[in-house]
Structure 1
């Protein structure tokens, strides 16, 4: 579940690449997200099978991606080099997927029906956990959005930072950003 959650940043690649200056809609996808190609070039199941040591091939991308998310959250968004470098490191999260599935396949080698059932069970457990986590998060966010809609409620420092970031990303003022957030709710 953590791998799936960590790889969710790819859904925001259009926004992230817009921050880097690639905001033309006619650009081909590899040019809009050039580092996305890196995720397809680093599959690790084959070397991990040859070296017979899957554990380290599964674990080593975790600290790399943690560093990348930390870099991205602490730098100035207008800095091209550090943003690009953090995106490059974020792509290491995809290196774990193939290793994880090859690990499962080697743990339950025979018969093939048993292996298929194991894949199905693991995917079902992860899907249920992800659905429950998302539901809990969206209910919490809806409560917070409802509270923020009240005009009389003063905004805290955290809410003001979010509002400033929204205004900066969308290219509008703080009042317009607050109006933009009104009426929005997650569908549960």
Structure 2
């Protein structure tokens, strides 16, 4: 839950992205046009990242590496008023936040215990809590806070870092569970499809994806 909350909370900047881009000082039309390239980049990186994560079977670095770029983007946006670096930071924000989001959602779904009804309820709760951040997000971008929006950028940076920490914690937990499976011990959730014996997952070579 902490992982997705961190990603979604840092992504609240996209709710008011035109307001952030407008601080570059261009006209309304130009400002709106400048919001397009960051999302085009985010779409491309999201597809490529998800494809590579699926091909390699790796999840952790495909989630955390993009978040490091978002951390850097928020720091740059909060510390400079120069147009070039600020727009560079804005280019990185959507891509850094959402590139690993789909991978994170799939990773969490794969690690939730059986049965399917329990997984579905847990995912619904996680999504509901994660999106609560939209309640306060709109209050962090008053015109008086521009152009750097120090408070908003600082909060978003911290949320991205929180997501990295939660992903790291989840990986450590899954490494421990995989070691238990290596020893032939039963692990909740590690049950082969169609089987009701926990140890069967270990004998069939099931391991949690890292």
Taking structure 2 as the reference length, the TM-score comes to: 0.54
> CA offsets per residue over residues 142-175 of structure 1, 9 Å max, x none?
xxxxxxxxxxxxxxxxxxxxx9x72976xxxxxx
Paired residue for 1:23? Answer: 27
3-state SS of 2:28 partner: coil
Give the superposed CA RMSD: 3.3
SS at 2:91's partner residue?
Answer: helix
Q: Structure 2: which 5+ residue stretches go unaligned?
A: 148-210
| Cα displacement (A) at 1:22 | 3.9
Alignment of 1:100-115 (within 5 A): 100-108=104-112, 112-115=116-119
Paired residues of 1:17 and 1:23 also in contact (CA < 8 A)? no
Aligned twin of 2:89: 86
- Tell me the equivalent position of 1:145: none
What's the counterpart of residue 53 of structure 2?
Answer: 48
For residue 78 of structure 2, what is the aligned residue in structure 1? 73
Any idea what SS the aligned residue of 2:45 has?
A: coil
Per the TM alignment, residue 106 of structure 1 is displaced from its structure 2 partner at its CA by: 2.4
C-alpha displacement at 1:134, in angstroms? Answer: 4.1
Describe the SS at the equivalent of 2:17. Answer: helix
The change in CA–CA distance for 1:46 and 1:168 in structure 2 (over 3 A counts) is closer
Greater than 6 Å deviation, 4+ residue runs: none
1:35 to 17, 34, 38: 38
Distance 1:28 1:72, change over 3 A: closer
User: Residue 185 of structure 1 corresponds to which residue in structure 2?
Assistant: none
The Cα offsets for residues 83-103 of structure 1, whole Å up to 9 and x where unpaired, read as 111011212111121011111
Aligned residue among 166, 171, 186 for 2:144 = 166
1:5 to 2, 9, 21: 9
- Cα distance in 1, alignment partners of residues 104 and 145 from structure 2: 40
Between the two structures, name the one with larger relative contact order (CA 8 Å, sep ≥ 6). 2
In the other structure, the counterpart of 2:198 is none
Structure 1, unpaired ranges of 5+:
142-162, 170-188
Question: TM-score w.r.t. structure 1 length?
Answer: 0.59
Distance of aligned partners of 1:81 and 1:121 in 2 relative to their CA distance in 1, 3 Å threshold: same
Could you tell me which residue of structure 2 aligns to residue 123 of structure 1?
A: 127
2:21/2:90 contact within 8 Å kept: no
